[in-house]
Structure 1
């Protein structure tokens, strides 16, 4: 069933150069887009926004560590290794489950959603689109993306629930950054975002 759904989604590729280009762009540059969004919130946001960026970053890292641990105990070959698949772009024949791209995108998105619905929902939608693009280009099965969603939700919830553990580090990093910026510019950094 996993492969059948994969074929249905990936089968949409190679029919529209425009859609293929969009999906390739998303699959290759989503993580860069997330980094730029977080950077913008960090640079132009307020203290709360900077803290949210750090929590989202820590959540993304934790989720990717969980992905790595999963690959140590369970290895799923990529669709183009196990089947005849004409990928839109090349990829290494490493573990397919879960999708690191999708996990990184969704973990950051879900962490942000717990703290800011206004920014979180668009990021979650973009994260789901990232996962869809990974199937479209032929790099992942639907279950790989579903596994990423589960990892992201669980890790996002746990880090939100136990954020008190990270709070001293997050507060310290933001306080040091804002003190440095205040010293350099002479202006307070707690802007509205």
Structure 2
């Protein structure tokens, strides 16, 4: 029995057409944004690495939150994948084939809601919020831009991006908060063991003092 996919074009298809119409008239941006939409995910990994690096000079709770950040992102992404299967929203390229699309149309079983890229982006924002709000603010700027590229390229409707944010922010926040509390004793022990060089930073002048 064939599963009928949900058609999301009736929600904000006109806005989608407006944005992809912009892509049609700014073809000089098509290739850079097509490259960025995937490569840009590396920015969120870098921000989490920066969070970990800075946490080495802070207490065990901060380091636990730094280590919890990627875990929270994975949890949010997993929840989003379940939501994709449940909603089963067909991609815009099938519902609105006459619009302008930069990316190739994926298989019908590669559903649209919520956007996986945007889920990763906004989950990083939430996970970093508990650790370092400046890094979280930087992540937020890139997350909104990532979401825009997903619509600009024709991969997702705007509500796919909004749905990703609505799902990812609380899920990643709660996951990060739970792990950030529960794992503090473990991280505290690890900071005094063989993983000490990875989890702590030697204070300046410490070697000279010895």
Query: Would you say same fold, with TM above 0.5?
Result: yes
Q: TM-score, normalised to structure 2's length?
A: 0.76
SS at 1:95 equivalent: coil
Judged with a 3 Å threshold, the aligned counterparts in structure 2 of structure 1 residues 174 and 83 are, in CA distance, closer, same or farther, namely farther
Q: TM-score, normalised to structure 1's length?
A: 0.82
User: CA-atom RMSD, angstroms?
Assistant: 2.7
1:24-63 superposed matches below 5 A: 24-42=34-52, 44-47=53-56, 48=58, 50-63=63-76
Higher-helix-fraction structure: 1
Aligned equivalents of 2:68 and 2:37: distance in 1?
Answer: 24
Aligned equivalents of 2:185 and 2:21: distance in 1?
Answer: 49
In structure 1, stretches of 5+ residues that fail to align are 183-187
* Structure exhibiting the larger radius of gyration computed from Cα positions: 2
Judged with a 3 Å threshold, the aligned counterparts in structure 2 of structure 1 residues 181 and 166 are, in CA distance, closer, same or farther, namely closer
1:153-172 superposed matches below 5 A: 153-162=169-178, 163-168=180-185, 170-171=187-188
Aligned equivalents of 2:54 and 2:74: distance in 1?
Answer: 22
Judged with a 3 Å threshold, the aligned counterparts in structure 2 of structure 1 residues 46 and 157 are, in CA distance, closer, same or farther, namely closer
In structure 2, stretches of 5+ residues that fail to align are 1-10, 205-210
1:64-101, Cα deviation, whole Å (9 max, x unpaired): 11111112321001101222143212252301000110
Deviation, 1:112, is 0.4
Deviation, 1:179, is 2.0
The question of whether the paired residues in 2 share the 8 Å contact of 1:13 and 1:137 is answered with: yes
Moved over 6 A (4+): none
The question of whether the paired residues in 1 share the 8 Å contact of 2:85 and 2:111 is answered with: no
